[in-house]
Amino acid sequence: MTSKNPSLNKQILSLAIPNMVSNISIPMLGMVDTALMGHLPDLKYVAAVALGSMIFNMIYWSIGFLRTGTLGFTGQALGKGDDQEVSNFLYRSIFLALASAVILIVLHPWLIQWALQLTNSSWNIEIEAKKYFDIRIWALPASLSLMSLSGWLIGLQNTKLPMLLAIASNILNISFSFILVVFLNLNTTGVALGSVIAQYITLGIALIFIKKKYQRYLKPLDFSMIFNVTLLKLIKVNGDLFIRTLGLMLVFSYFTLQSANIGDVFLAANSILFQFFILFSYMLDGFANAAESLTSLSIGSKNKILLRKVIGKSFLFGFFTSLIFTILYAFLGKEILYLITDNSKIIVNTLPLIGWIVLIPIISFPAFIFDGIFVGATASKAMRNGMIASVLIIFFPLLYLLPFDPMVNLWVAFLSFMLSRSLFLGLYLKKHVLQTIA
Look at residue 294 in the predicted model and tell me its pLDDT.
Answer: 92
pLDDT exceeds 60 at position 345: yes
User: Is residue 2 situated within a structural domain?
Assistant: no
User: Is residue 172 situated within a structural domain?
Assistant: yes
pLDDT tens per residue, range 7-22 = 888 888 888 888 777 7
User: Is residue 126 situated within a structural domain?
Assistant: yes
User: Is residue 127 situated within a structural domain?
Assistant: yes
Percent of the chain with pLDDT over 70: 92
- Write out the residue range of the structural domain in which residue 239 sits: 8-436
What does the longest C-alpha to C-alpha distance in the chain come to?
A: 64
| Amino acid at position 73, single letter | F
* Terminal Cα-to-Cα distance of the chain (whole angstroms): 19
Q: Which CA distances in Å does 392 have to 259, 338, 385? A: 20, 36, 11
Look at residue 2 in the predicted model and tell me its pLDDT.
Answer: 39
Burial annotation 294-331 (CB, 10 A radius, 16+ → b, else e)? bbbbbbbbebeebbebbbebbbebbbebbeebbebbee
User: Is residue 1 situated within a structural domain?
Assistant: no
Q: What pTM, to 2 d.p., does this model score?
A: 0.76
Question: Average pLDDT, stretch 422-432?
Answer: 92
State how far the Cα of 289 lies from the Cα of 287, in Å rounded to an integer.
5
User: Is residue 133 situated within a structural domain?
Assistant: yes
pLDDT tens per residue, range 156-184 = 988 889 888 888 888 898 889 888 888 88
User: Is 76 exposed, middle or buried, given 0-12, 13-18 or 19+ CB atoms closer than 10 A?
Assistant: buried
User: Is residue 93 situated within a structural domain?
Assistant: yes
pLDDT tens per residue, range 47-100 = 777 777 777 777 776 787 788 888 888 988 888 888 888 888 898 889 889 999
Count up the domains in the chain and report the number: 1
Q: Would you list the DSSP string of 328-375?
A: HHHHHHHHHHHHH---HHHHHHHGGGHHHHHHHHHHHHHHHHHHHHHH
User: Is residue 3 situated within a structural domain?
Assistant: no
State how far the Cα of 373 lies from the Cα of 386, in Å rounded to an integer.
14
In the structure, what pLDDT confidence band is assigned to residue 120 with cuts at 50, 70 and 90? low
